Chains A and B, each alone.
Chain A
Amino acid sequence: MSNKTQWQSVCHIDDLVPDSGIAVWTEDGPVAVFYLPNRIPCLFAISHTDPFSGANVLARGITGDLKGQPVVASPLYKQHFNLETGACLEDTSIKVTIYPVLLDGDEVVLEVPIKAHDQAVA
């Protein structure tokens, strides 16, 4: 296991939907990117895969806040995931991967791990 990461451009700012999520494909698999314009910072990225069902659906959940934490509710079984930490509010043993995300000009960029084969080349 390596800790090496890279920043990857995943989409244009116009692809984002306010108060909702979109799914992007990254070197690390499917990632959900949420845009909450009333928060600072306003971008969040977590794994798109719902750990309870294994389906790639989290970007399609409803966003909001519970007791001040920004959350998304899984569209399948409705568990809530903290967008900042990836923690599941209903089951403390479950956590989804979170990814650092930034706006670089009009591009949304994510920090994702470098895959083993990439390192071999590097």
Chain B
Amino acid sequence: MSKKNLIVVGNGMVGHHFLEQFVDSDAAAGFNVVVFGEEPQLAYDRVHLSEYFTGSTHADLAMGTAQWYADKGIDLHLDEQVTEIDRDNKQVITPKGSYSYDELVLSTGSFPFVPPIQGNDNPHCLVYRTLEDLDQIRASAEGGKVGVVVGGGLLGLEAANALKSLGLEAHVVEFAPRLMPVQLDADGGALLRKKIEDLGVQVHTEKATSAIVEGEDHRLRMNFSDDSHLETDLIVFSAGIRPQDALARSSGLEIGERGGIVINNQCTTSDANIHAIGECALWDQRIFGLVAPGYTMARTLAGALNGDSEAAFTGADMSTKLKLLGVDVGSIGDAHGQTPGARNIQFNDGANGVYRRMVISEDGKKLLGAILVGDNGPYDTLLQYALNSIDLPASPEVLILPESEGGAPTLGPDALPDTASICSCHNVTKGDICGAIDAGCCDLGSVKGETKASTGCGGCAALLKNVVDCELEKRGVEVSKDICEHFPYSRQELFHLVKINGIRTFHQLIHDHGKGHGCDICKPAVASILATVWNEHILATDHVALQDTNDTFMANMQKNGTYSIVPRVPGGEITPDKLIVLGEVAKEYNLYTKITGGQRIDLFGATLSELPEIWEKLIAAGFETGHAYGKSLRTVKSCVGSTWCRYGVQDSVGMAILLEDRYKGLRSPHKLKMAVSGCTRECAEAQSKDIGVIATDKGWNLYVCGNGGMRPRHADLFATDLSDEELIRAIDRVLMFYVRTADRLQRTSVWMENLEGGLDYLKQVVLEDSLGIGEELDAHMQTVIGTYQCEWKTAVEDPEKRKRFREFVNDERKDPVQQWTQERGQRRPVVETA
């Protein structure tokens, strides 16, 4: 029997989810599956779209891979728009041809609504939905200073975040009297507005745009109906979505009055062989603009096509939990209290920026809805009460009061019924999770693999972990914190074993406390601990085999097996003579040179055997190793400070050099970065560093545990107006406490987030010496500083250590695979085009 054809039009998140659900089902064996996508890329995660501006690529956001589609035998047509459905002949038509279908699935999504405002066709008027839209926004932002988002809803605020991350002064213009009018009430909206304005995004509510004209100071001017105006360089419309139903409309399918392809409970349209899912579909006069209901429709349709008579879409929970511009916002169920007789309990803490509202039933027993702004802590608990109709405690207000005022009883995972939905993206209940554990899953990873829980939007990750941990514990399984298969200990426990037992080698540690021979996880971790505690040379005989290649050869391995070299340039201050030496050495060895983000110079392309020769020359010119290869202090960035700058109030360069010289060589769980700014203008960007110092007219403000990179975190203000001595003592203790208690490869930002008691606790330990270990931390730091050596100086002076730097121990030849080409006047490796 020949196969039938199933065609899916639209390759977005919901369309992809449908394929995931369908292709492995029994019915799929009877179909050839063909997919058409209008965009040139595979389906990607639109929920996390703004991450595209902070470093994520399409590959990071992609839902699947071309390989997956090929493996599943799906015929994928990207960049091919379906222009017509010929229902009489059961064919879809594209510019490239016509294709027969037996079953047709429309998952065409939605398009952004652009209000009919005069001038909205200007090339700098854009929308925010696809990666191409984002590319256009990025292009438009070039050379611009100000960006406006029209629409203060969920997506609009996401878009404002995107504009902000592009470095624009961002504005939000909203027609309603408050932000997120659908999800929030007046008090919640007001607090959200204040928080967002504190972050530098300006909010304009009750503004209707009447026209967009040419601007005077910027590209555009928005004229409002109240005769005020706003100048901007670009406008992003995010005033809601409209179902993409054009194709269905022109083929005569039933369409709702205000748009949307009408579907029944089985997601089938007015044509029995045509189905619609996701944002293009209209169910019970409603469009669902969230991903979870779309996924539910996808599952329903996959079930219905498999003949499951019980498969039905019966509406969806529209509760949402978000972080918008870093501000927590949550909205559950009947947030506005529209149920007859509903009662309200509100908690509004303006000083700490927390607003919470519970909507409860007339009899006070059930939670109907909730609004949270500023802290989503109670969200998971409240959602479970609402979704599962769990009886509220006698004094329900304890659920939203801060802990200090009575202690909020969180709804432990134990109290949830088996029917409680844990992951709404993949419809996983607590019962499913218990089932997976009973079937043999013994850790979080395997539960995720088995049930797919928390692999959608990820919003349930914390709840899932709690449920899994609790259920495992109930079954007597201990939750493992072991570093690897060789040691039944965490990094912190290993640190204590090394220190208390005076252990100085890996062999002794694994002999006394571990098993086997070690691996690439535990060896570098133990090497780092030994270095912190004893500070012996990393190439000492007992330690050399423990190190990652970068530590072994004290340089950073690049993709072709050559290394880069970064000499220390404390505080970014360098003499002309030293600059010339760097240039001369780079020229002699034909090294590619680049300025780093940490105010140093990186020399790329040195072979193993060249490393000691190059370092001999650098050391002779007064350079020291920069530890760019180590889990240790990298740089202390500084602005020029009061010495030159007319705004500087302290000598930031001097302080940066002092700090860099003090902490260079300190081995830590992960790399450390610092910066010192000479005034509040913060040119050294200290608030994105592990340790940040900002000058005041009375001394120094200290910030801790910031991070740039993959997951930026604003540093926390730790202490103010410190003297030089107070500053150094505080940093000594923060660093030592971090080095002693952090996990392997845990940056200070994550360490802080996991530290019980958080910032306040760290302040007590460091500033008030609440644990009575202050002097011990000081003494330990003094030992580390006292035993500092330039590792490269020691290495080049020792013929035994130099032997390690031979490319081939039996042959003088250079590595033969390295091929080079010229680009922009410098040498670089030939890139493989495999």
Contact = CB atoms under 8 A, between A and B. Distances in A.
B38 to A, nearest CB: 35
B132 interface: no
A86 interface: no
B809 A15 contact: yes
Contact of B559 (A60, A66, A73, A76): A76
Nearest to A35: B545
A103 interface: no
B813 A57 contact: no
A61 B520 contact: yes
B573 interface: no
Contacts of B545: 17-20, 62-63
A56 B817 contact: yes
A23 B809 contact: yes
Interface string A51-87: 0011111001111111110110101101010000000
Contacts of A49: 817
Contacts of A96: none
Contact of B548 (A15, A23, A62, A64): A62
A57 B557 contact: yes
A22 interface: yes
Contacts of A57: 549, 557, 561
B797 interface: no
B552 A60 contact: yes
A26 B522 CA distance: 33
Interface string B536-561: 00000100111111101100010111
Contacts, number: 101
A12 to B, nearest CB: 8
Contacts of B803: 15
A33 to B, nearest CB: 9
B733 interface: no
B815 interface: yes
A55 B818 CA distance: 8
A56 B557 CA distance: 11
B485 interface: yes
B363 interface: no
Contacts of A68: 516
Nearest to B541: A18
Contact of A65 (B516, B550, B809): B516
B819 to A, nearest CB: 10
A50 B557 CA distance: 13
Nearest to B815: A56
A88 to B, nearest CB: 14
B519 A62 contact: yes
A60 B516 CA distance: 21
B631 interface: no
A102 interface: no
A54 B549 contact: no
B480 interface: no
A13 B815 CA distance: 23
A56 B519 contact: no
A54 to B, nearest CB: 6
B98 to A, nearest CB: 40
A49 B559 CA distance: 12
Contact of A64 (B517, B553, B560): B517
Contact of A23 (B523, B559, B807, B817): B807
Interface residues of B, number: 37
A62 B559 contact: no
Contacts of B548: 62, 75
Contact of B544 (A20, A23, A56): A20
B832 interface: yes
B561 A55 contact: yes
Contacts of B813: 25
Interface in B680-738: none
A54 B832 contact: yes
A11 interface: yes
A10 interface: yes
A38 interface: yes
B518 interface: yes
Given A20-B544, A25-B811, A71 B560 contact: no
A17 B544 contact: yes
B249 interface: no
Interface in B790-810: 803-804, 806-810
B309 to A, nearest CB: 42
A36 interface: yes
A83 to B, nearest CB: 11
Contact of A38 (B517, B522, B547, B807): B517
A80 B485 CA distance: 15
Given A55-B561, A63-B545, A65-B517, A11 B524 contact: no
A27 B517 CA distance: 32
Contacts of A56: 561, 815-817
Given A36-B517, A57-B557, A65-B516, A75 B485 contact: no
A114 interface: no
Given A23-B807, A23-B809, A38-B517, A55 B549 contact: no
A58 to B, nearest CB: 10
A10 B519 contact: no
Given A20-B544, A75-B548, A67 B485 contact: yes
Nearest to A24: B810
With most chain A CB atoms within 10 A of its CB, the pick from B541, B560, B808 is B808
A120 B632 CA distance: 56
Given A11-B809, A30-B808, A64 B523 contact: yes
B811 A24 contact: yes
A53 B520 contact: no
Contacts of B519: 62, 64-66, 71, 73
Interface string B553-574: 1000101110000000000000
Nearest to A60: B549
Contact of A66 (B485, B550, B807, B811): B485
Nearest to A68: B516
B305 to A, nearest CB: 34
Contacts of B550: 75
A75 B553 CA distance: 12
A62 B810 contact: no
Contacts of B553: 60
B366 to A, nearest CB: 50
B557 A65 contact: no
Nearest to B817: A56
B520 A25 contact: no
Contacts of A65: 516-519
A75 B557 contact: yes
Contacts of A63: 517, 545
Contacts of A62: 519-520, 523-524, 545-548
B520 A64 contact: yes
A71 B557 CA distance: 20
A84 B316 CA distance: 56
A24 B807 CA distance: 8
A20 B806 CA distance: 14
Contacts of B557: 57, 60, 75-76
A36 B516 CA distance: 12
A73 B832 contact: no
Contact of B520 (A18, A36, A55, A78): A78
Given A49-B817, A60-B557, A67-B485, A24 B520 contact: no
Interface of A: 10-11, 15, 17-20, 22-25, 29-30, 36, 38-39, 49-50, 53-57, 60-68, 70-71, 73, 75-76, 78, 80
Interface of B: 485-486, 516-520, 522-524, 541, 544-550, 552-553, 557, 559-561, 803-804, 806-811, 813, 815-817, 832
Given A17-B544, A76-B559, 17 more contacts: A17-B545, A19-B545, A20-B545, A23-B809, A25-B808, A30-B808, A50-B561, A53-B561, A55-B559, A60-B552, A62-B523, A62-B524, A63-B545, A64-B516, A68-B516, A76-B557, A80-B520
7 contacts: A11-B809, A20-B545, A23-B809, A25-B810, A54-B817, A57-B561, A61-B549
4 closest A-B pairs (Cβ-Cβ)? Answer: A55-B561, A64-B519, A75-B549, A19-B545
